[in-house]
Amino acid sequence: MTAVSQAANSLTKEIRSEIDVSGCISFARFMELALYHPEYGYYQMDASRIGREGDFITSVSVGEAFGHLLASRFSEWLDKIDGPVRLVEAGAHDGTLAHDILSWLVKYNQPLFLRLKYSIIEPSKKRREWQISRLKNFASHVEWFDSMNDMPKTIGVIFSNELLDAFPVHRICWSQSKCSWFEWGVSWHGEEFYWVPMERGKGAWSSLLPSWPDSLIKVLPDEYCTELSPAAIEWWQSAASNLDEGKLIAFDYGHSIDEWPSPSQLQGTVRSYRKHKHVNNILANPGGQDLTAHANFQLVKKAGEAVGLKTEQFTSQERFLNRSFADLLQISPQIGKAIDLSQLKTLTHPAQMGQTFKVLLQSK
């Protein structure tokens, strides 16, 4: 039995024990355990699961260009703030993006680097060990916190890359006959997990349901499914509340502001991947395959605005990075020419990562 299948088997037993208590668990709980179980969770098992040899590619795994362009843009923003500043990254995985950003700052903006603290929000002991190893050359400038609530107020930039789409989601569906929403839970029978309607009342997700007009509700297909993530919204609001002055920005795979609900995604956006292939059964092999769902930028945007942030921009990764590159070339052609153009093409090409990834920028 492989290490992956051993872990999946152990995690399956733990999930089953929770199901035995009440007959089923929410998909949000299933996803939380599958991805973040401290011993068997997908993101705990192996730092190499991201990249060409892993299960999926990220903007960071494409190469240094992503981190260098972020560093140049962050540098521009932070240069406008006097005194000590902070860069806060949530969801730093193995520390590669932090390394790329700090390396650029050391080379091209030493004065900023010297007055900057790089803070990483990381509750996982194992991932923190990966990050400490990767960032040993910057040890005096990097600090770690378990959560945003443990941090002092931030003057600077708080950012995440592919974090929002990795928060656990509740999978909810529309019942035409009952004219109401219900939640799909997860149960166990025989040798496999299966979907089951949850009989308990609406959970924390119900407060996130938008007030869609009756004209829209009436045409929703029976069992139209979507996802809601209270955890993602709570995290964004905690980050927004922590920001004393500066920017809050997210790069993620997700819905545009006006794309939800989407008639093209009748079964929702939860997906599972292994070795760069879509896995049809998202309940199979917990801990052994990635689980993700579109970030709901409509709700995230509103959450930030509700605690006092101003939305500066919502755009595609293509437009954000191309503009950052163009501005860098104009300010310093020599530094701009150091950006790897083949990597930039992958990051910004509409058929690759340019349009599927979105960027939300808010400020205080």
Look at residue 53 and tell me whether its pLDDT is greater than 80: no
What CATH architecture does domain 58-166+231-258+292-363 belong to? 3-Layer(aba) Sandwich (3.40)
What pLDDT score was predicted for residue 50? 63
pLDDT, tens only, 238-278: 999 999 999 999 999 987 777 777 777 889 999 999 877 88
Give me 239's structure tokens: 């980050």
What pLDDT score was predicted for residue 257? 74
pLDDT, tens only, 30-50: 999 999 999 999 998 765 666
What pLDDT score was predicted for residue 202? 67
pLDDT, tens only, 75-122: 999 999 999 999 999 999 999 999 999 999 999 999 999 999 999 999
What pLDDT score was predicted for residue 326? 98
pLDDT, tens only, 315-354: 999 999 999 999 999 999 999 999 999 999 999 999 999 9
Look at residue 310 and tell me whether its pLDDT is greater than 90: yes
What pLDDT score was predicted for residue 157? 99
Q: Range(s) for CATH 3.40.50.12710 in the chain?
A: 58-166+231-258+292-363
